[in-house]
Amino acid sequence: MRSTRTRRFGLATVITLALTLFGLAPSASAADPAPAELTFTTDAATTQPGGTVNLSMTVKNNKTYDIWFVYQTIDPTWLTTQRPDLKYAFTACSLASETSAVPCSGTGPADLGTNYGATVPPGQSRTVTLTLQVAADSGCNGNIGFYSYFYAEFSDSTSVNGGPVYTPETRVLCA
């Protein structure tokens, strides 16, 4: 009796292995994507004192319900705050939706939630772009980094939060 079970188990294992090797085995179902994603990009990896970098933050709605409300903070990382010679400021803000771009408010390390413009329909995204101006007399060879927390509410009365989410770092190079 034992050898029959062993043969069945062995045969099933061999068949499963063969199907897997040839790509015919059923794959495990992928996990559902996060209900809302927050991603960061910059338009330049480096800048110099006196230069600018655009920092874009995109919230994407992966649910089948509208995002009604978004709350987001953006703050400099601890290492960024430890550089007294590093001088920068956010000087502009714009909101891009699927159809247009408009100016927004609340620049600086602040609450950016109102800038995303409710409502974000299912499958769509909103991008807030902040222009980071590095002072002409800023110190050199320092990384500028930010982190963010966000919270989103959906029309089905659910919510999601995340963080800290870290931005791509921008390297300040001497001129």
Ordered domains of the chain (ranges, CATH): 1-30 (no CATH), 36-172 (2.60.40.740)
Pick the residue with more confidence: 105 or 22? Answer: 105
Q: Are strands 101-103 and 46-47 parallel, antiparallel or unpaired?
A: unpaired
Average pLDDT of the chain is 75
Per-residue pLDDT for 5 more than 80? Answer: no
| pLDDT for the residue numbered 13 | 45
Distance CA(172)–CA(37), nearest Å, equals 28
Q: Is 47 exposed, middle or buried (0-12, 13-18, 19+ CB in 10 A)?
A: buried
| pLDDT for the residue numbered 73 | 79
| pLDDT for the residue numbered 7 | 45
Residue 156 contacts by C-beta under 8 Å, 6 or more apart in sequence? 63, 65
Q: Does the pTM of the predicted model rise above 0.85?
A: no
Nearest to 93 by CA among 117, 140, 129: 129
The DSSP string of 23-67 is T-SPPPPPPPPPSEEEEEEES-SEE-TT-EEEEEEEEEE-SSS-E
pLDDT per residue over 141-156, tens digit each?
888 888 888 888 888 8
Per-residue pLDDT for 166 more than 50? Answer: yes
Nearest to 120 by CA among 24, 3, 38: 38
